[in-house]
Chain A
């Protein structure tokens, strides 16, 4: 199985701050990685697909990049509604595997 290592596991940030979350895969997966946002008690929502494509309806302050086996999710300017858990998913090779998640909290 492809291992996905996500960091950090938790993150304190201030409103307006630039936030970056990273997923590293154990082998090359091309761009087959998604990012999700999950708020307490809500269904996870797709943010970014194929590593860099913003899902329809998601704010443009979210972006994704990748280089080799390293993938990043960036929030350019943190808004209150961005406080949530974030996780990544590789869908290059079955079984699909997930990063461990990042809990984003306000400083």
Chain B
């Protein structure tokens, strides 16, 4: 059974940093692209970042480029999202997703972790 379990969320002040983790199990992690998707309170979902299976290439939405870094450790089957220079508009639930690319794309999701950016 595919499982994705996020951790690392919480309350952080604007301008500070936070690092999310996603522990994956139930599949061969190194075979899949992975992604982060977020949903701000009362807003829709938006894709944040993706990483290839090897970690060699990464992709970001414009609003987080230069501030967020997606990475992975295939030996630990873990995905990360380093979030720097956080802004209030980054407040959201962040979901770790498996990206079956090219293919179905976002086929499995974690339950999400809340990040609140506030002073």
**Interface assignment of B11: CB less than 8 Å from any CB of chain A:** no
Q: Mark the stretch among B23-31, B66-74, B80-88, B106-114 that contacts chain A.
A: B106-114
The count of A-to-B residue pairs whose CB atoms sit within 8 angstroms is 49
A34-B61 CB under 8 A given contacts A44-B95, A95-B47: no
**Interface residues in A, total, Cβ within 8 A:** 23
Residue of A42, A45, A91, A101 ringed by the most chain B CB atoms within 10 A = A91
A25-60 vs B, CB cutoff 8 Å, 1 = contact: the mask equals 000000010101000011111100110000100000
Q: Is the interface of A mostly helix, strand, loop or mixed?
A: loop
**Interface residues in B, total, Cβ within 8 A:** 17
CA of A44 to CA of B95, assembled, Å: 9
A69-89 vs B, CB cutoff 8 Å, 1 = contact: the mask equals 000000000000000000101
A101-B44 CB under 8 A given contacts A49-B104, A96-B105: yes
Name the contact of A99 in the complex, choosing from B44, B47, B105 (C-beta under 8 A): B44
On chain B, the residues within 8 Å of A45 by CB distance are 109
Residue of A50, A89, A95, A96 ringed by the most chain B CB atoms within 10 A = A96
**Interface assignment of B4: CB less than 8 Å from any CB of chain A:** yes
Q: Told that A45-B109, A89-B45 touch, could you supply 7 new A-B pairs with CB distance under 8 A?
A: A32-B105, A44-B95, A46-B106, A46-B107, A91-B106, A98-B46, A101-B44
Can you sample 19 A-B contacts with CB below 8 Å? A34-B106, A36-B109, A41-B111, A43-B108, A43-B112, A46-B106, A49-B107, A50-B104, A87-B44, A87-B45, A89-B45, A89-B105, A91-B104, A94-B59, A97-B46, A97-B47, A98-B44, A99-B44, A101-B45
4 closest A-B pairs by CB = A91-B105, A98-B45, A49-B104, A43-B109
